[in-house]
Structure 1
Amino acid sequence: MIQDAQPGAQAAMRTRAVTAAAIGTALEWFDFTLYGALAATILPRLFFPSMDPTSALLASLATFGVGLAARPLGAIICGHLGDKLGRRNLMLGTVTVMGLASMAMGLLPTYASIGVWAPVMLVLLRILQGFALGGESTGAQLMAIEHASADKRGKYSGLLGLCSPLSQIMANGVLLLLSSVMSAQAFDSYGWRIPFVLSFILVIVGVYIRLRVSETPAFEALRETEVVHVGSPLRDALHLHWRTVLRWMLFFCGPAAIFYLIVVFSLSYITKTLAIPKQTGFLLLMGANVCAIVGALAGGMLSDRIGRKKALAIGSSATLLMLFFYFQILDTKSFLPMLAAMGFFLGFTQFQSGIQPVAFAEAFPTNVRYSGSALAYTGANLVAGGPMPVLAVWLFAVCNGSPWGVVAVCVVFNVISLVMILTARETRGIDMNRTDSAAVVTGEADFAAAGVGNGHRT
């Protein structure tokens, strides 16, 4: 009976772990999606009314980028502490900070009420959000992946990957509902605030579930060694595993740039350049995110069958192809072709994001897994993700309304990403709980996560 109960308890803990990780990731993306959509539509005239429309849009989108720019700091501090103190404790802190910052944003006075202090406070809250997000995103991923069995890591990874599009559907659905049932004046006055304030409910649920999740087996195994006591995760990640950090950062620049191009700049392009109602823009994004849910699940599960490298190459090749046709299809102003283009594009972008958690986790040994993964993930968003909406607006203006400058930049990111994938080693099936010196001290197996090609597979 005891032997039968133990596998059941492990299965229950795995379910709790992926649920806790998913709720935190969902909250993270819900808030960021809300802000991205509002930054492209409502916030310019509420917080930057003294500027001309283009400058106000650029300033508003820049505040979106500030949040992403703060992510590396959160990744560095939370990653170091997560590798020293454990994944679970950090997750309780980051989800709380994220929720409090979002609620405060929903209560923030506008420029008309407090003048220049409004955009200043908006930026400060975005920095807090970004800091928490930098620690939350990787920690939640590790909480789920390190609890998963080796043959289901890709599935768990895909489940985390679908949180982003699912949250986008929820966020855009809420905005669509509010903008439909409220007058434009009421929506601009207080309607946009409601989702931010209500998101705090997810914080309460997230904290409750995470209190019932145990520390991950990989960290528990590491805790029994001396490495966790004498090592410096941040120093070791940068000194011993910098090639791995750089490779994965360059890989994720492609999906990060394309993701923000679709969910932030495309909405501005559709509503302002193509003069399509914002309700239609929200509907298009919601439909595209349904495809993205399927893409994230498919990517994660396929990577369990054919390996991370082959699955990632499929997704990267698909987005590279779509870049050459995307804006041409949007310019038709025909709903179904636009929906198909956005669905295909976002679907294969999220196909790669569904593999990213497990690929990153398997690329690093336990003692630097949090630090190394967080640095790569947030570094890509800092370099390519955050600047993309602002860069796209600027390139669009410089190119006199032509999208080909934006396309060229995204093609470069995508090609670099594909090269990183094709020159990588396969990591599927490695033993993530290893704590021997070759894995955690010397960093000898930089990209292969200490074990590929050396018989250390589970």
Structure 2
Amino acid sequence: MDQQSQLSAHQAMRTRAVTAAAIGTALEWFDFTLYGALAATVLPRLFFPSMNPTSALLASLATFGVGLAARPLGAIICGHLGDKLGRRNLMLGTVTVMGVSSMLIGFLPTYASIGVWAPMLLVLLRILQGFALGGESTGAQLMAIEHASPDRRGKYSGLLGLCSPLSQIMANGVLLLLSSTMPAQAFDTYGWRIPFILSFILVIVGLYIRLRVSETPAFVALRKTEVVHVGSPLRDVLHLHWRTVLRWMLFFCGPAAIFYLIVVFSLSYVTKTLGVPKQTGFLLLMGANVCAIVGALAGGMLSDRIGRRKALAIGSTATLLMLFVYFQILDTKSFVPMLAAMGFFLGFTQFQSGIQPVAFAEAFPTNVRYSGSALAYTGANLVAGGPMPVLAVWLFALCNGSPWGVVAVCATFNVISLIAILTAPETLGIDMNRVDSAEEVIGASGQASMQSHSH
């Protein structure tokens, strides 16, 4: 094969890798938005009819929370296995489990058909979904970044970052289309099932593409060393790289908290507190997600030009400044200023999320990259992202309807995030095939073994 043919083959493989990663990431966020919307509307009546409306809503939202709670476990276990067995093998497994779980939710009988088994099976499927998605998010990122050429890692990272806002627009659009084109009874009977069943098509496409993607060059290089055969990736990353895990977890606490503040709490604030019509609230959020698509791609591409630290610092500074005027602009109840504020805020949040995959991947050596990235990513969502909507509601009530308590907490997360960025080393252009030396890994494993025997 001549040099030109080799270059074409490498480029085709990179394109397949980023396509496979993007489909998995898109499906993850499509499910997140779809299930979240249905858990608050349709599912309480279908799966918890024996409860009063408030209890049914809380029980339904709890099934949503179960999926989030299962993600860290999936990230830890899949991260460990991905560093031992390879990225491609794990990606085939996670996308299969995720797709089958989504499809089964679409076919799941309701409480009226099988009684208490219906909510129990719903919870089980949500746990499986959450577990698979916990491993999918980081694995998909590594699949793309480790295949990318050094000068385009940021661009590939940005392409993954835009999957979240794009999928939210698609999910809301599908629900809006179905609910507006069929009677309410038909939507409650079978209409809500259609997106779950159709999402399996994405899984088939994702599997087909992933089967045609080779293992990443970084992991292939790792297999040629003895490091992959010794030690435990999870134990080694906690022993040798815990500072790096902590730094990048603290960084992502800022974007994670602000993302959930905008997409969950802001919608509630605009519609319930300010009395803006729900349709207007959804339009504002969809418009903001369009800005987020641009922001994610711009962040990733800019980081290829000026470095990860500088680009992240720009995004973090922008969201920090916006925090102090955001609610005042929303309080105007004027559509254009509200759209501009939400678009700017979510745009610069996703600007950072567009850089996150490449920043995390470059921060760790190959033998612990999956484990380290997964711990940092899920740790931030567990600490700051997931609790943010509930915390915001509590602070809002505590401050008698004033948003300044929410602003103070988010600003604290943002400042911690900015400090983590400024103290991190620049990784642009770093060798992605580097590994911990065998001596380091054996030393870490041996010391851990001695400690366990001493206990």
TM over 0.5: yes
Instruction: Count the aligned residue pairs.
Output: 444
Shift of 1:262: 1.9
Q: Distance in 1 between matches of 2:347 and 2:392?
A: 21
Shift of 1:110: 4.4
CA contact (8 A) 2:152 2:304 kept: yes
Shift of 1:45: 5.0
Aligned equivalent of 1:332: 332
Aligned equivalent of 1:456: none
217-226 or 194-203: bigger deviation: 194-203
Residues 193 and 11 of structure 1: CA distance in aligned 2, closer, same or farther (over 3 Å):
same
Aligned equivalent of 1:234: 234
Letter in 2 for 1:228: V
Q: Deviations over 1:298-341 (max 9, x none)?
A: 00001011110111111111112222232333333332222222
Shift of 1:132: 0.6
Shift of 1:442: 8.8
Letter in 1 for 2:431: D
Q: Distance in 1 between matches of 2:392 and 2:237?
A: 33
Find out whether 1:357 has 2:357 as its counterpart.
yes
Q: Distance in 2 between matches of 1:54 and 1:316?
A: 38
Shift of 1:159: 0.7
Q: Deviations over 1:210-230 (max 9, x none)?
A: 000000100000000000011
282-291 or 82-91: bigger deviation: 282-291
Aligned equivalent of 1:75: 75
Q: Deviations over 1:240-267 (max 9, x none)?
A: 1111111111111111111122223333
Q: Distance in 2 between matches of 1:439 and 1:154?
A: 32
Aligned equivalent of 1:222: 222
Residues 439 and 396 of structure 1: CA distance in aligned 2, closer, same or farther (over 3 Å):
farther
Shift of 1:111: 4.9
Aligned equivalent of 1:434: 434
Find out whether 1:251 has 2:251 as its counterpart.
yes
Shift of 1:184: 3.8
Aligned equivalent of 1:396: 396
Query: Mapping of 1:152-171 within 5 angstroms?
Result: 152-171=152-171
Q: Deviations over 1:373-412 (max 9, x none)?
A: 0111111111111222233333334444433333332222
Residues 439 and 361 of structure 1: CA distance in aligned 2, closer, same or farther (over 3 Å):
farther
104-113 or 29-38: bigger deviation: 104-113
CA contact (8 A) 1:94 1:136 kept: yes
Q: CA RMSD in A?
A: 2.4
Query: Mapping of 1:44-59 within 5 angstroms?
Result: 44=44, 46-47=46-47, 58-59=58-59
Secondary structure of the structure 2 residue equivalent to 1:324: helix
Q: Distance in 2 between matches of 1:274 and 1:282?
A: 14
Aligned equivalent of 2:410: 410
Q: Distance in 1 between matches of 2:106 and 2:435?
A: 45
Secondary structure of the structure 1 residue equivalent to 2:192: helix
Residues 273 and 11 of structure 1: CA distance in aligned 2, closer, same or farther (over 3 Å):
same
Letter in 1 for 2:338: M
CA contact (8 A) 2:230 2:442 kept: no
Shift of 1:370: 0.4
Letter in 2 for 1:21: A
CA contact (8 A) 1:64 1:386 kept: no
- Percent sequence identity over aligned pairs: 90
Q: Deviations over 1:73-103 (max 9, x none)?
A: 1111111111111000100110111112222
CA contact (8 A) 1:36 1:264 kept: no
Find out whether 1:345 has 2:348 as its counterpart.
no
Q: Distance in 2 between matches of 1:189 and 1:332?
A: 40
Q: Deviations over 1:110-136 (max 9, x none)?
A: 455555544443332222111111110
CA contact (8 A) 1:92 1:210 kept: yes
Letter in 2 for 1:369: R
Q: Distance in 2 between matches of 1:399 and 1:196?
A: 40
Q: TM-score, normalised by structure 2?
A: 0.91
Gaps of at least 5 residues in structure 2 are 445-455
43-52 or 20-29: bigger deviation: 43-52
Shift of 1:7: 1.0
Q: Distance in 2 between matches of 1:416 and 1:143?
A: 29
CA contact (8 A) 2:153 2:304 kept: yes
Shift of 1:57: 5.0
Q: Distance in 2 between matches of 1:130 and 1:374?
A: 14
CA contact (8 A) 1:37 1:264 kept: no
CA contact (8 A) 1:61 1:389 kept: no
Shift of 1:292: 0.5
Q: Distance in 2 between matches of 1:110 and 1:326?
A: 42
Aligned equivalent of 1:300: 300
Q: Distance in 2 between matches of 1:296 and 1:414?
A: 18
Aligned equivalent of 2:9: 9
Letter in 2 for 1:298: A
Q: TM-score, normalised by structure 1?
A: 0.90
Q: Deviations over 1:254-306 (max 9, x none)?
A: 11111122223333334444444443333222211110110000000010111
Residues 64 and 411 of structure 1: CA distance in aligned 2, closer, same or farther (over 3 Å):
farther
255-264 or 351-360: bigger deviation: 255-264
Find out whether 1:22 has 2:35 as its counterpart.
no
Q: Distance in 2 between matches of 1:223 and 1:299?
A: 33
Shift of 1:429: 0.9
86-95 or 51-60: bigger deviation: 51-60
Shift of 1:232: 1.1
Shift of 1:180: 2.3
Query: Mapping of 1:123-202 within 5 angstroms?
Result: 123-202=123-202
Letter in 2 for 1:206: G
Secondary structure of the structure 2 residue equivalent to 1:431: coil
CA contact (8 A) 2:231 2:442 kept: no
Gaps of at least 5 residues in structure 1 are 445-458
Residues 439 and 133 of structure 1: CA distance in aligned 2, closer, same or farther (over 3 Å):
farther
Secondary structure of the structure 2 residue equivalent to 1:428: coil
Shift of 1:192: 2.5
CA contact (8 A) 1:240 1:442 kept: no
Shift of 1:62: 3.8
Secondary structure of the structure 1 residue equivalent to 2:258: helix
Find out whether 1:283 has 2:283 as its counterpart.
yes
321-330 or 157-166: bigger deviation: 321-330
